[in-house]
Amino acid sequence: METPITTHIVKGLILSAISIVFSIVMYVFNLFEYSWLSWINTAIVMGGLIYGNILFANQSNNNVTFGNLFAHGFKTTAVIIVITTAYTVLSFKVFFPDMIDTILEISRKKMLENPKMTDEMIEQAISMTKKFFIPFAIGGTILGTGFTGALASLIGAGVAKKNPVDPFSNPAS
């Protein structure tokens, strides 16, 4: 009996759910000031994508190529991008509208630590960021997740065991 293959959609849903739960925990416990925590989320997603590629190769009896594995990983990444982008918009507009002000206040504190920035420069930067916050968040989510996913897909495709079958090696008589 053939092993069922876990689809990229299921893997993308699972990794998106983990990422969203991590984001909610950061919001609930007000951990935005610790920017290094977002790297944990990135590491979890990358690890999940790499493991997803290895799992796909194993479920396919290792009869896959580098391209098959990379494509599977990037399709999983596409699912993650769609879901996390939708969550990002909903979180800033519906679920946690005060999150924008919290993030802007953290940015203001960091800018005040820079002696080269005047109060006028800080106000101008904050007002510009507030105006374009949602587009920047969407773009950052898409580009950041896409880059992370492409890198993890490359790594996963590289480390997974491959035993591709050459269709020309054993011609049928």
pLDDT at 167: 66
pLDDT for residue 172 is more than 80: no
Amino acid making up residue 171: P
Instruction: Give the C-alpha separation, 163 to 62, whole Å.
Output: 5
- Residues 35-48 have a mean pLDDT of 91
pLDDT for residue 32 is more than 80: no
- Which pTM was predicted? 0.86
Cα angle 124, 110, 31 (rounded to 5 degrees) comes to 120
Grade residue 112 by pLDDT with cuts at 50, 70 and 90: confident
166 phi, psi to nearest 5 deg: -85, 115
Amino acid making up residue 33: E
- 84 or 165, which is more confident? 84
- Residues 59-82 have a mean pLDDT of 94
Look over the chain and give the mean of its residue pLDDT values, rounded to a whole number: 89
pLDDT at 122: 84
- The answer to whether residues 69 and 8 touch, using CB atoms and an 8 Å cutoff, is no
Instruction: Give the C-alpha separation, 114 to 98, whole Å.
Output: 25
pLDDT at 170: 66
Residues found in the chain: 173
Grade residue 49 by pLDDT with cuts at 50, 70 and 90: very high
Cα angle 37, 43, 44 (rounded to 5 degrees) comes to 95
pLDDT for residue 2 is more than 90: no
pLDDT at 59: 92
pLDDT for residue 140 is more than 70: yes
Amino acid making up residue 19: S
Residue 23: C-alpha distances to residues 17, 18, 56, 58 (Å):
10, 9, 27, 31
Give the position of tokens 């399709």: 75
Instruction: Give the C-alpha separation, 100 to 161, whole Å.
Output: 44
pLDDT for residue 77 is more than 90: yes
Per-residue model confidence as pLDDT tens digits over 117-133: 888 888 888 888 888 99
pLDDT for residue 33 is more than 80: no
% of the chain at pLDDT higher than 90? 55
pLDDT at 14: 96
